[in-house]
Amino acid sequence: MPGGAEATARPAVALDGFGAERGFDVLAAGARMAAADGIRMRVFGPPGDLELDGAEGIEVVPADDWIRNEEEPIAGVRTRPEASIVRAAADVSEGRSGALVSVGSTGATMAAATFGLKRLRSVKRPALAAVLPLPPGPVVFLDIGANEEARAQHLIQFAFLGAAFSAAVLGIAQPRVALLSNGTESSKGTPVVVEAHEALAGASGINFIGNVEGTDFAGVADVIVSDGFTGNVVLKTLEGTAKMVAGMIRTAARSNPIAAAGGLLMRPAMGPLREKFDPDSTGGAVLLGLRQPVVVGHGMSGEDGVANAVRLAARCIEQDAVPRTEALLREGHATRSELPGSA
Amino acid sequence: MPGGAEATARPAVALDGFGAERGFDVLAAGARMAAADGIRMRVFGPPGDLELDGAEGIEVVPADDWIRNEEEPIAGVRTRPEASIVRAAADVSEGRSGALVSVGSTGATMAAATFGLKRLRSVKRPALAAVLPLPPGPVVFLDIGANEEARAQHLIQFAFLGAAFSAAVLGIAQPRVALLSNGTESSKGTPVVVEAHEALAGASGINFIGNVEGTDFAGVADVIVSDGFTGNVVLKTLEGTAKMVAGMIRTAARSNPIAAAGGLLMRPAMGPLREKFDPDSTGGAVLLGLRQPVVVGHGMSGEDGVANAVRLAARCIEQDAVPRTEALLREGHATRSELPGSA
């Protein structure tokens, strides 16, 4: 009974076929890699360019229009129902696919998801979360830019959204959740951060460990919560500084022949480190708080990056990330109607 | 006429004799280094521990009490008039010294300066600025924590304070001034950042280049402006990430004997880089917007760090940093009474 088997199979991932800066070939190769793991996909893009004919588990849904990085995303999403990301989001909201993935414009993906998918009833505002590949373990950092301002009630919900994702998708039991602030004491921070701290310190269902500072990204907390403005600036500072320091060391290593010889000897040992900092390794950011999982991959993703973005979305489906998020919000009395200021 | 010569000499720097985490010896050695450059100092601390008897240009003013890092700084400064930092600040406000320097508690130094010295009449709020030793040139980054929240009028003044310091003390002609935001477009940022952007884009006397992102710390702007909460978190992220990446590379370099041999060959080439990242090289942060210069050095400063903090303060005096700041605020119509919302 193939019909029966299909009906009970896991939902497919809706993948935007446009927007991969390294080209259709790379996107298609990434999709094939994810399909090899048994993940079903519906890819919205030009069949001729994608060349995915006959790929097991992959259905190409023809789409010609798409929203580019440099376009105004909200206007684009509102006026172009045929754009690939809008159609992929509709596919998810109509239940034909179970999660949305794009490596195209972050703004367009967020706009298409926010307009096309529904928020969880218990959630006030979705938040964009990055999974930082830090030693000794991954850190979920949110909000990195879905909202430019946040009230205490939003930060409180971000804490629960991040904790649920960390537990469900990254498999971390009792993830340690912290607020990013300008000092570890509970009195430190803007009035909004201080208010959120007080509420989280008294909340149930969450392992809140207090404030962390910018020096404490690695090894202190599993989830770090911030408003979207600070989060975006801080994430880019982290990425920019890592690149700058690595570059300075590389330049110094080439400054004379002896150092250059040393650099050659060290090269193989740097492999795992390079892999660690490779944006392809995490699959990108996730938009939390909607009724279906949404993964925003890097535009510069290689095939590994595309495959990992799809795998991350599939893992969110498989691990029931969304229902577990709702359950955690209820357990912590952090649903929309239970939070202060939620008239 | 020795009296006459003394009357026209440059004012002394008031140096807090307490708070150096590496001990009195290191602080005294740093003071001697600065004195060798012809800088006069009045050092507030225990004469027996400082052992500065007979040091040319250095006068030790006996002080026994001091405010420790772990103490509540505002309460400490208010209730302990005999504390070394409070007395050093009084020495400056009474005109016996021309600038204040401490490597002790940042909070206590800021509180003593804010209460003990006066604000410039044209300035609404002082801001704490770090001088980041980045390639290709130093970047003045403010506010890094004097204020946890900022309105647009504060950010506008911070821009002028930073520009005046960059020009007067670092000698940068027409410093490029930018706002830190979550995107380079003028529409990006919190409403406060967007409002400040608009005002600065139309201001005279300042070379405003727009927004920069967290990835753009090096080589794009000479002065980067932020609210104190974001600034503090971002500065610590920058420092923490630089240390983390350097540490990861070091660990990888030791992971096998061949890599370790390579590391040894590379070591000498890393010297200038290590110096670049050494906090001692900048002398610390400066509190801008008061009627006298204030330098907040690192608690862990070595003798170079102490000497550089004193040199930075002396340079502020020598270069008329404060009068030049007032002039720039007037030129840009950014004085307290001219800014929007300054009832």
Domain boundaries, chain A: 1-123+289-317, 131-279
Q: Using CB atoms, which residue from B226, B233, B258 is nearest to A265?
A: B258
Q: What is the mean pLDDT of residues A157-166?
A: 97
What CATH number should be reported for the domain whose range is A1-123+289-317?
Answer: 3.40.718.10
Q: Is the dihedral of CA A156, A157, A162, A167 positive or negative?
A: positive
With CA atoms as reference, the chain B residue closest to A256 would be B269
Greatest CA span in chain A, whole angstroms? 70
Q: Do the Cβ atoms of A229 and B259 come within 8 Å?
A: no
**Each residue's pLDDT tens digit, A165-212:** 999 999 999 999 999 999 999 999 999 999 999 999 999 999 999 999
Q: Do the Cβ atoms of B249 and A213 come within 8 Å?
A: no
Instruction: Name the nearest CA neighbour of A127 among A138, A139, A140, A116.
Output: A140
3-state secondary structure A173-207: CCCEEEEECCCCCCCCCCHHHHHHHHHHHCCCCCE
Which one has a higher pLDDT value, A147 or B6? Answer: A147
With CA atoms as reference, the chain B residue closest to A144 would be B182
The answer to whether residues A38 and A55 touch, using CB atoms and an 8 Å cutoff, is no
Q: Using CB atoms, which residue from A237, A255, A268 is nearest to B234?
A: A237
Length, in residues, of chain A: 343
CA dist., res. A301 & res. A104, Å (int): 10
Distance to chain A for B56, nearest Cα, Å = 40
Cβ contacts (< 8 Å) between A218 and chain B: which residues?
240, 244
Distance to chain A for B144, nearest Cα, Å = 9
CB-neighbour burial class of residue B3 (10 A; exposed 0-12, middle 13-18, buried 19+) = exposed
Q: Do the Cβ atoms of A215 and B193 come within 8 Å?
A: no
DSSP string over B45-93: E-HHHH--TT-TTEEEEE--B---TTS-HHHHHHH-TTBHHHHHHHHHH
CA dist., res. B16 & res. B309, Å (int): 11
Distance to chain B for A187, nearest Cα, Å = 11
Q: Is the dihedral of CA B67, B69, B70, B75 positive or negative?
A: positive
With CA atoms as reference, the chain A residue closest to B266 would be A259
Q: What is the mean pLDDT of residues A58-79?
A: 95
The answer to whether domain A1-123+289-317 and domain A131-279 are alike in fold is: yes
Q: Do the Cβ atoms of B234 and A235 come within 8 Å?
A: no
Amino acid B281: pLDDT = 67
Position A4 pLDDT exceeds 70: no
Residue B336 is inside which H or E element, if any? none
Superfamily of domain B1-123+289-319: Isopropylmalate Dehydrogenase (3.40.718.10)
pTM of the model: 0.91
Position A342 pLDDT exceeds 90: no
What CATH number should be reported for the domain whose range is A131-279?
Answer: 3.40.718.10
Q: Copy the structure tokens of residue A239.
A: 């990425």
**Each residue's pLDDT tens digit, A237-249:** 998 888 888 888 7
3-state secondary structure of B174: coil
Position A266 pLDDT exceeds 80: no
Amino acid B299: pLDDT = 86
The answer to whether residues A12 and A41 touch, using CB atoms and an 8 Å cutoff, is yes
The answer to whether residues B51 and B17 touch, using CB atoms and an 8 Å cutoff, is no
Kindly give the confidence (pLDDT) of every residue in chain B, 343 residues in length, as a single tens digit, with 9 standing for 90 and above: 344 444 457 899 999 999 999 999 999 999 999 999 999 999 999 999 999 999 999 999 999 999 998 899 999 999 999 999 999 999 999 999 999 999 999 999 999 999 999 999 999 999 999 999 888 899 999 999 999 899 999 999 999 999 999 999 999 999 999 999 999 999 999 999 999 999 999 999 999 999 999 999 999 999 999 999 999 999 999 988 888 888 887 787 777 888 788 877 877 777 766 666 666 666 689 999 999 999 999 888 899 999 999 999 999 999 999 999 999 999 998 898 888 665 4
Position A232 pLDDT exceeds 50: yes
Distance to chain B for A243, nearest Cα, Å = 9
Q: Copy the structure tokens of residue B296.
A: 């907040």
Residue with tokens 């229009």: A65
Residue A213 is inside which H or E element, if any? none
**Amino acid letter, residue B332:** G
Q: Using CB atoms, which residue from A236, A248, A249 is nearest to B214?
A: A236
Instruction: Decide which of 3.40.50.2020, 2.130.10.10, 3.40.718.10, 3.40.50.2300 is the CATH code for B136-278.
Output: 3.40.718.10
CA torsion A199-A201-A203-A207 (nearest 10°) is 140
Interface test with A, best of B155, B225, B230, B256 (most A CBs within 10 A): B230
How many helices (H) and strands (E) in chain A? 13, 11
Amino acid B275: pLDDT = 67
Amino acid B3: pLDDT = 42
